[in-house]
Amino acid sequence: MITLDPAMLNRVVKPARYTGNEWNSIKKDHDTVSVTVALSLPDVYEVGMSNLGLKILYQILNNREDTAAERVYAPWVDMEAEMRERNIPLYTLESLKPVREFDIVGFSLQYEMSYSNVLNMLDLAGIPLFTAERDEHMPIIIGGGPCTFNAEPVADFFDCLVLGEGEEVMEDIIAAVSSWKKTGKVNGRSGILKSLAQIGGVYVPSLYDVTYHENGMVAEVLPNCPEAPLVVTKRVVKDLNKVEYATRPIVPFLDIVHDRIMLELFRGCTRGCRFCQAGVLYRPVRERRPELLLKMAKEMVDSTGYNEISLTSLSSADYSCLPDLVDSLMGELKEQGVSVSLPSLRIDSFSIDLAQKVQQVRKSGLTFAPEAGSQRMRDVINKGVTQKNLEDAVSAAFQAGWSTVKLYFMMGLPTETDEDVLGIADLAYKVLDLYKEIKGRRGAKVTVSVSCFVPKPHTPFQWFGQDLANEFERKQQLLKARLRDRSITFNWHDARTSFLEGAFARGDRRLGQVLLKAWQNGARFDGWSEYFKYDVWMDAFKTCEIDPYFYATRHRDFDEVMPWDHLSSGASKQFLQREYEQAVTEELTCDCRREHCSACGVCPGLGVEVLDWGSRA
């Protein structure tokens, strides 16, 4: 057990990030279990603690008598300095034991910009960074989360990466590690890696060799041993009604990003937005039953004492039984002072009615994501929202008493012209006009947030070359000049951060060196603008003689081998290509949830099906 000096904790910001003991946290005697797991998200406590996947795994793993699951997050820069000065290794919040003594360390990889923190945490833990340098006494380093679908840039640092949903596969992994330990770690490190490679959804990167063409493109990614499958396909839970949920989540002392009950209505979203990676990775749509959700909600209020329930899903308003569910939640929990909130709103008046119902009195701003300014552009990305949908939704919101609207957009989408970009401004002004029409006076506030589009693997736009940073900046200025009204606030993303994200999102294994170099030169918390060191990254690319533009801004041909072609979401490359082609011709694809199947390949390929209670009723 690590002892933490008062001097250290007295000096750092928010020391409660590092001292644990929260309600519902679970402490087990390590001598009574056969496998210990440190669950992590490589970011600060408040971010890591908000991740739903980790909450679920914490409960599932701790439900097992043979397993102790604990937590560790990235110490903030002040704490890191204190720890390094005092030689305090990275430790978990439950037992205050060094992470290095655990059997498994699992990192949730939610965004590429957290990769430098993974290296930093391994280093702080005293764990060798490269999988090749670790022997059987070191923990097995596992990655999960959306980034694993192309975690090639971090492939050299991880022992294995888990594709898809973790509920079932983590249990398989625990079983494998437990029996390997019982046999005295037979065949050492390579013994366990080879047995993990045989579990569906588990990718062991060291069991694959990558070869490259002279022009730098990937030639082949092939297994180097019989245990490793040619293609690793994601795991998917067939029926969410049958798996454990995080009904006893840890209640932190300090405010975290999502400090409320998260009630996951369903998984998957098949609206088919062509830029969206989550929409492909989490197919198909699988809903939980409303009765089960109500029961879970009550259990969670009792187990946490939270007084707010957030209905979380990729697009919660699409839940088939939403109005009934909201009514019963509010009806049964009102007595206890519990409120219900919807994190995302669909752009229609149905959503406004709901928002009105749940937020009865509080008229804080409403957020919509039209994603693109012009109808043409929205058709390209298959965002099935029309100008009229938007006008109806905003009008309904104003009529219901709201006056603040936030609009989210992207720029740099395929086929985008300046006219499309300026369409964003037109939309913002249209919203102001609607308010005036309805209320007979000015007074609406509109916030326009525009991010820089980053093409992601496993999406129809995976072949598309990202805009150059200066092109993004030009478009930002163009828009800024048009958005001069005092009622409009314009926010935009840093183009250089998006460029780096773009390189890593579609990177290959060679980027591991760049990551290592950048981390050595001080890169960490890259997702936090105040710590993002663009120059350090560009120097690292230069030192390694690797061209970031090759990864970020280059258009690929359809027949190019992608660094992630051996990692499958279940959606076929043909489907993605078809979608790209339809994007260019501005053709729409329907939602398979309630309309016909668009043959992405997931359901037949993985033996799963859409579960939507509304469509069956």
Partner 1 sequence: MAKLRLEITKGEEIRYISHLDYASAMERAIIRAKLPVAYSEGFNPHMKISFASALAVGVTSQAEYIDIECKEEIDVNQAVEHLKASLPVGIRIKGAAYMQGNVPALMAIVNLAAYEITVPLLAEDIGIIEDSIRWFNGAEAVLYTRESPKGKKEIEIKQYMAKPITLTALEKAVRLILEIRITPTGSIKPGEVLGALVAMFDLPVDIDNLLIHRTGLYISNANRQVSPVEL
Query: Least distance in Å: CB of 103 to partner 1?
Result: 26
Peptide bond between residue 414 and the one before it cis (omega within 30 degrees of 0): no
Q: Are 337 and 314 in contact (CB under 8 A)?
A: no
Q: Choose, by CB under 8 A, the member of 337, 486, 557, 585 that binds partner 1.
A: 337
Tokens of 239: 């029926």
Closer Cβ to partner 1, 22 or 586, answer by number: 22
Picked from ligand SF4, partner 1, none, the partner binding residue 239 (CB below 5 to 8 A depending on kind) is none
Radius of gyration of the chain (CA): 24
CB 135, min distance to ligand SF4, A: 43
Helix (H) or strand (E) holding 142: strand 140-144
Site for partner 1 in 291-310 (CB under 8 A): 301-307
Would you say 20 or 53 has its CB closer to partner 1?
A: 20
Is residue 212 within 8 Å of 219, Cβ to Cβ? yes
- Cα(43)–Cα(57) distance, rounded to whole angstroms? 18
Span from 146-154, 338-346, 439-447, 591-599 in contact with ligand SF4 (CB under 6 A) = 591-599
Structure tokens at 13: 């910001």
Other beta carbons less than 10 A from residue 296's beta carbon = 18
For the chain, the straight-line distance linking the first and the last C-alpha, in angstroms and rounded, comes to 56
301 versus 381: smaller Cβ distance to partner 1: 301
Nearer to ligand SF4, 441 or 596 (CB): 596
Minimum Å gap between C-beta 563 and ligand SF4 is 24
Identify the DSSP state of 251.
B
* 268 φ/ψ sector (left φ>0, alpha ψ -120 to 50, else beta): left
User: Looking at the DSSP assignment, which residues form a beta bridge with residue 110?
Assistant: none
For tokens 């929260």, name the residue.
22
Q: Is 555 helix (H, G, I), strand (E, B) or coil?
A: coil
Q: Binds 305, which of ligand SF4, partner 1, none (CB < 5 to 8 A, cut-off by type)?
A: partner 1
**CB of 278 or CB of 400, closer to ligand SF4:** 278
The reply on whether position 237 binds ligand SF4 by CB under 6 A is no
Beta strands in 379-437 (DSSP E): 404-411
Q: Which of 69, 516, 600, 611 binds ligand SF4 (CB under 6 A)?
A: 600
Number of residues that bind ligand SF4 (CB under 6 A): 12
Q: From CA 596, how far away is CA 190, in angstroms rounded?
A: 46
| By the rule CB under 6 A, 236 interacts with ligand SF4 | no
Of 339, 395, 598, 613, the one binding ligand SF4 by CB under 6 A: 598
The residue count for the chain: 617
Nearest approach, Cβ of residue 257 and partner 1 (Å)? 15
Nearest to 330 by CA among 342, 320, 318: 342
Tokens of 464: 């598309």
Cβ proximity to partner 1: between 303 and 387 the closer is: 303
Structure tokens at 70: 């604990």
Task: Tell me the per-residue interface mask from 342 to 361 with partner 1, x by CB under 8 A, - otherwise.
Answer: -------------------x
Residue 395 interacts with, from ligand SF4, partner 1, none (CB under 5-8 Å by kind): none
Q: Whole-number minimum distance, CB 328 to partner 1, in Å? A: 20
- Beta carbon of residue 267, minimum distance to ligand SF4 (angstroms, whole number): 12
CA–CA separation, 107 vs 250, rounded Å?
Answer: 18
183 binds, among partner 1, ligand SF4, none (CB under 5 to 8 A by kind): none
Answer with the entry of ligand SF4, partner 1, none that 590 interacts with (C-beta below 5 to 8 A by kind). none
**In one letter, which amino acid is 8?**
M
Query: Could you give the CA distance from residue 156 to residue 133 in angstroms, rounded to a whole number?
Result: 10
Q: Which does 233 bind (CB under 5 to 8 A by kind): ligand SF4, partner 1, none?
A: none
Nearest distance, CB of residue 17 and partner 1, angstroms: 9
| Residue 258, amino acid | H
We find the least distance from the C-beta atom of residue 590 to ligand SF4, in angstroms, to be 9
Residue 336 binds which of partner 1, ligand SF4, none (CB < 5-8 A, kind-dependent):
partner 1
Residues 233-292 that bind partner 1 (CB under 8 A): 251, 253-255
Cβ closest to ligand SF4, residue 164 vs residue 512: 164
Closest CA to 102 of 61, 144, 151: 61
Q: Which of residues 459-518 bind partner 1 (CB under 8 A)?
A: none
DSSP notation for 68-88: EEEEEEPPPHHHHHHHHHTTP
Q: What is the dihedral of CA 32, 36, 39, 40, to 10 degrees?
A: 130
**Beta carbon nearer to partner 1, 16 or 584:** 16
Contact positions with partner 1 (CB under 8 A) in 3-62: 5-7, 9-11, 15-16, 18-19, 21-23
What's the CA gap between 611 and 186, in Å, rounded?
Answer: 42
Q: Residue 375 corresponds to which amino acid?
A: Q
Partner in contact with 600, chosen from partner 1, ligand SF4, none, beta carbon below 5 to 8 Å by kind: ligand SF4
- List binders of ligand SF4 among 246-275 (CB under 6 A): 270
Give the Cα separation of 331 and 488 in Å (integer). Answer: 38
* String of contacts with ligand SF4 for each residue 270-289, x by CB under 6 A: x------------xx-----
Query: Taking the CB of residue 203, how many other CB atoms lie within 10 A of it?
Result: 27
Tell whether residue 602 is a contact of ligand SF4 (CB under 6 A): yes
The tokens describing 191, both together, are: 């013994």
Residue nearest ligand SF4 (C-beta atom): 592
Q: 111: exposed, middle or buried (C-beta count within 10 Å: 0-12, 13-18, 19+)?
A: middle
Minimum CB–partner distance for residue 351 and ligand SF4 (Å): 23
Q: 254 or 584, CB closer to partner 1?
A: 254
Judged by the rule CB under 8 A, the positions of this chain that interact with partner 1 are 5-7, 9-11, 15-16, 18-19, 21-23, 251, 253-255, 301-307, 336-337, 361-362
Which residues of this chain interact with ligand SF4, rule CB under 6 A?
270, 283-284, 592, 597-603, 610
